[in-house]
Each structure stands twice: as structure tokens, then as C-alpha cells.
Amino acid sequence: MKPADKSTELDIHAVRVFHAVAAERSFSRAAEKLYRTQPAVSMMVRRLEAELGERLIDRSGRELLLTDAGKLAFEYAERFENLQREMENAFAELRDNTAGRLTIGANESTTFYLLRHIQSYRKLYPRVKVRVQRSLSSLIPNQLISGELELGVISFDPGDIRLTSKVIYNDHLAFVVSPQHRLATSASVSIKDLGMETFIAHNVYSPYREIVLREFQSRQVSLHMDVEMPTVESIRKLVQRNEGVAFLPRMCVEADLEQGKLHEVRVEELEVERKIRLVYPARRMLSHAARAFLELIGR
């Protein structure tokens, strides 16, 4: 048999027909299984043999036998059948929101908000792989537009018509001290009472940090940021040890406040709300996994 032209693409349907014939060891049974006539099945197998340039079936005897080339072709046809079943199952699972992948962008503080929702989501969809990618809030809108992220959680309105933004949580900036601090028993204080305090600051830019700086400056009160740390976790630990005080998103310290590890004191001139927003592309179709997460958040 003449070798197949290298540029020829295999007829996948012919591969499936050959697989049925080889599995059934019969043209007639394969034709019945495929709801086709026996001559049509024979023609498809001959077409595949012509494309491959090899005899796949020994037709000299009464029993249908595969040639060496036929045995090799059957192995690959079997892989194709398995792969097709896997693909069909995967898409069926995606349609049921039971499998897939979800990538969410968040900075360190907004990740705290996501924890309980991810826990609930995982209970409903345990086979979905959830990846929370830590990123600067300022970068998340562009990462959503570029397709690097499907969903993002930020604390500001991106103001971009290419993105949909919905408020999912109202938070505020909390002034926290250790239980041993002199202000731990105070319900509220004024900014002027904080001029001698050592503040432990986050060294990542935030619009809320700018608000605090501006309020202290407008009242001509010194803000001693003698220690700057890279993570909210490290700031919490230092404040717990009474090494200083801090302004932190309340959702990041809720557990500490409930357990008495930190105390929140109201600062009269600084009541700063933080609106946590879920952001996603306005026009691009979201995956089933992402839509299921949106539905969960909206409950």
C-alpha cells in the first residue's frame, strides 16, 4: 500500500469507525453499534488505511485479525476514545459547576474577607481548584482586563467601563492597641491624644494611609511611623506585643478583637469606611466556576 502523504490529516470519524470494528472484531457488529450499513463501515476503514498507507485488518481469513499496524492504530484509537470521554465528562462537570479552575486577585487585607466565602464555595464545589493570587490592588483592574485574573477583590471603585464592580462588604479602618496599652480601656480618643504614640505602618501604598496622614497633618499632630512592616500579619503581632499602635482594616483583626488579643478604640476625627468590591470584566464571558462564585457572594 502506498504511504500516506505527510500533509494528509486523518479523518477522525474514520478512526472512530476503525476502533469500533477492531473492538467488536466484526464489521457487521460495528455497523450495528454505529447505526451504519456494513458497506459504509468497510469504506471508512479502507479510507483510513489509505490515509495511513498501511493495511490495518487482515481480511484473508474468516476471522477478523489486526495487522501489526492495525494493533498500533487500535492503541491510538483507544486513547482517542478515552480522551473524548474525558473531555465530555470535564465539560459536563463544568456545566454543573463541580469542576474547573477559579483565579481571584486580592491584596493581603482583602484576602481576609475571602476566607469564609472560599470555605463555603469549597463545600459546594470541592473539585474546583481555587487560586487566590496576591497582587497590589492598583494592578488588579489591568490584570482583569488582560485576562490574567477572572475575579478581583479591591477596596476602591476602578472607574473603568470595561469592568463591573459591586460592593460586597462594608468595612472600616480600625485603630487598634494591645490589651496592655494605656488606651485599651478608652471608648474613643482624639487625634491630638495620639501625638506621642509609636505607629506601626504598612509599607505598601494605600489610599487609606494617605487619608490618615492628611488628617494628622491638618490638625498639626505628629504621626510617628517609627516601624514599617510588609504584612498585616506582622503589624498585628507587634501591636499585640504592645510595641506600638496601628490603623488596620477591621476585617483583618476581627478574630483578634473577639479573642481579646487587640482592642479597637474609636478615633473621633477618623471614621474611614472601606467598601470592598468584587470586580470582573464587563463584557467577557466568565467561566462556570466564576459565575458560581458570584452567585455565592450575592446570597
Q: Sketch out the chain's domains with CATH numbers.
A: 12-95 (1.10.10.10), 100-168+276-297 (3.40.190.10), 170-274 (3.40.190.290)
- Distance from C-alpha of 245 to C-alpha of 55, rounded to nearest angstrom: 82
Burial 73-109 (b: 16+ CB within 10 A, else e): bbeebeeeeeeeeeeeeeeebbeebbbbebbbbbbbb
- Residue pair 218/224 in contact (Cβ under 8 Å)? The answer is no
**Other Cβ atoms within 10 Å of 53 Cβ, number:** 13
The residues, ordered by sequence, that sit 6+ positions from 119 with a Cβ below 8 Å of its Cβ are none
Q: How far, in Å, are 116, 127, 269 from residue 85 at the CA level?
A: 35, 18, 64
pLDDT in tens, the chain (299 residues): 555 554 457 788 899 999 999 988 889 999 998 999 999 999 999 999 998 999 999 888 778 899 999 999 999 988 888 888 778 766 766 676 566 788 999 988 888 888 889 999 999 888 888 999 999 888 999 999 988 899 999 988 999 999 999 998 899 999 999 999 999 999 999 999 999 999 999 888 778 888 999 999 999 999 999 999 999 999 999 999 999 999 999 989 999 999 999 999 999 999 999 899 999 999 888 888 888 899 898 76
The residues, ordered by sequence, that sit 6+ positions from 60 with a Cβ below 8 Å of its Cβ are none
- The DSSP secondary-structure symbol of 245 reads B
Q: Is 272 helix (H, G, I), strand (E, B) or coil?
A: coil
- Distance from C-alpha of 299 to C-alpha of 296, rounded to nearest angstrom: 5
Quote the pTM value: 0.62
